Structures are given as structure tokens and as C-alpha cells.
Amino acid sequence: MEDLEKEIGRLKVRLQDKNVKAVIIPHISPDGDAAGSCSALSQVFEQVGIDWHILTCDYVPEYLKFLKNISSAISFQEKPELCKELISAADLIFMLDHNTVMREGKLEGIVANARAERVMIDHHPNPELQQFMISNAKVSSTCELLYTVITKIFGKEVITSDIANSLYCGINTDTGGLSHNSSRPEIYRIIADLLEFGLDKDLIHRQIYQVNNLSRLRLMGNTLLNKLQVDTRYPVAIMPITNEELEKYDYKDGDLEGLVNIPLSVHNVAVSIQITERKGRVKLSFRSKGKIPVNEWARIWFNGGGHFNAAGGQMERPLEEVIKKVLETMPLFFEQFSK
């Protein structure tokens, strides 16, 4: 905690130079916490007169575009040259909601070789060392941590209702609507503050949970009805989704958000794994309840990692092979890690 205060203090000194050029980067496939934190930080910079750009290696999903400044994010897939220019001109690169440059997709090499100092603001375990390390794995979300960073550096008076909305979006989505990882009283003190600054809680809930694409409903329906399998040996549910299915149901970014959590509601399921084939690559999302560290499963066998109960991995192998590997590593994982 002391180290954290010190790092925030160092950043405060660095940001006294209002001529700094800042670039703000979320992780690949940004979620509510990544997009919410980028949105909030950019608004603060706007207010205090610091030059900023939000860059993504891919896209921001449709359902998060209501967050202020998020639709002005520049995608490396659309404008690679502009992204390179902005990164090479930057003095500070803010890495939000990720613990390694590797989570920046195709921006990785460019960011790693840039002259800028990197500022990590994140809550994932085992962070990679950067020039400024504001990392705390105990908090619910990057947005929760960012609230502390913003108010310590710029004071509570910079928090507008739009900033409160963005921060709450991350706190809410990273805790599954305050259902897990949200028992520290501090979270509710922050939410109470945000309400005083004009947070429109109901708006965020509506935007996040009550707006669906038809394609999302069809894809989720098909997956739960026809694809979900529960293992007979271990308390594990698996949902493979093929490229063909994504095309058939007209998949849009964000359509599968949250789907992986649903099988955990079945009483004898303790681990849920969504295995999604997309453009020659297979993405795995792991969720668990209780004392099952799925980040280890993802890290050891699937080139990934993450949180104890929520992790991700990926493989550049055919879907069938990845499914086979999940089934083969299941006994190994449970032998080693479940108590």
C-alpha cells in the first residue's frame, strides 16, 4: 500500500508537466473495466489540459461505445500509421487493466520499443515491471484503483458525472454486477462518492445488461442449447463455438460477453470454459467458483493467465485439437490444484 502511494506521488509529480503527451491503451478485446478506465482517464486529462489519445489494437465493442470518449479511440487495425506516430510522439503510455505489454496485441512491439515511459494502472496479479507501477491485485477493478489515482493526483473536484459513470461501469462489470470480488467495504464508499458526483447507476445497468443485439441472443441460445457439455468426471462445463456459428448468427464484437459465467449457475458445475474459434485462432475463457485457480490452468497449458476465478488463454490450433487438450489436461489440473 505504501509503495502504491509512493508511485501515485511520483506520477503526480510527472503530470505537473502539462505539456506531456499521453497515450492510453486498454487490453485486447476491451471489456467494461478496460474501456471504462480509458474513458475516465481521458476525461480527466481533457479537463486538466493534458494531450491524450486512446489507442486500441482491435475494436471497442458496440455496447461500450456509450462511454464518453470511447468512440474516438483509434484502432490499430484501421489506422496503423497514425497509431505508430502517436506512440512515438508520446511521453507517457498508460497501460490500463492489463499487467503486460503482451496483452496489447499488435501494438506490443511498437509500445515495447517506444521512448515513452510506461504507466501501468492495473489489478491483475504478477505484473510486468514498468517505469510507473500502480498495481494492486486486491481491488475489484482497474476503475476502482483509478478512482484513487485520479482523486489523489487531481482531487475529488475533477470527478464529473460522466467520469463517475465510466468508473462505475468498470467496477460493476468486473464484479459481475457486484456479485463477486466485491466484499470490501471500500468499494461501496467509492460507489457512494460516485453517486454524489452524479453517477447515473440505472443508466449504466441499462446500457450493460438490458441492451442486446438479436445476434447475441441467438448465439447465446444456440450455445446453451446445443453446445454446452458438462463433463462426467469433473465439475466442468465446456462450450465450444465455431467460426461457422459466429458467421451464421452474424456475430458482433461483445456478443459473447458474460456467456461463460452462465454455466456456473448449475449446482454441480464449478468451472466453465468457453472455447471460441475465430480467424484461425482459438480463444479460451475460464471461470470458476470457489477455490479452483483457473488462471493456473490457462497459464500452464493455454498461453494465458488472469485472475484466480477468471482467466483467459489462446492457441493457434484447430478447435478440435484445443477441445482435446482441455479434456486431456483436466485430470492433471484437478490433481494438482483443486483442494
Shortest distance (Å) from residue 62 CB to Mn ion: 20
- Report the residue number whose CB is nearest to Mn ion: 33
Per CB under 5 A, which of residues 38..57 are in contact with Mn ion? none
Figure out which of the listed residues 7, 33, 144, 162 binds Mn ion, where binding follows CB under 5 A.
33
Shortest distance (Å) from residue 141 CB to Mn ion: 5
Shortest distance (Å) from residue 123 CB to Mn ion: 6
| 136 versus 272: smaller Cβ distance to Mn ion | 136
Q: Does 97 bind Mn ion (CB under 5 A)?
A: yes
Task: Please tell me what DSSP assigns to residue 19.
Answer: T
Interface with Mn ion by CB under 5 A: which range of 61-69, 137-145, 198-206, 208-216? 137-145
Q: What pairs with residue 237 in β-bridges? A: 230, 272
Q: Does 257 bind Mn ion (CB under 5 A)?
A: no
Interface with Mn ion by CB under 5 A: which range of 62-70, 90-98, 191-199, 325-333? 90-98
Instruction: Give the count of beta carbons closer than 10 Å to the beta carbon of residue 231.
Output: 15
| 135 versus 141: smaller Cβ distance to Mn ion | 141
| 33 versus 257: smaller Cβ distance to Mn ion | 33
Task: Please tell me what DSSP assigns to residue 180.
Answer: S
* String marking each residue 173-192 x if it binds Mn ion according to CB under 5 A: -x------------------
- Give the three cell numbers for residue 242: 465455431
Interface with Mn ion by CB under 5 A: which range of 53-61, 168-176, 247-255, 272-280? 168-176
- Give the three cell numbers for residue 218: 441467438
Per CB under 5 A, which of residues 201..240 are in contact with Mn ion? none
CA dihedral 320, 256, 263, 276 (to 10 degrees): 10
Of the chain, the end-to-end C-alpha distance in Å amounts to: 30
User: Contact at 8 Å (CB) between 168 and 191?
Assistant: yes
Q: Does 245 bind Mn ion (CB under 5 A)?
A: no
HSE value, Cβ hemisphere, 13 Å, CA-based, for 277: 16
Phi, psi of 264 (to 5 degrees): -65, -15
Q: What is d(CA 79, CA 9) in angstroms, rounded to the nearest whole number?
A: 35
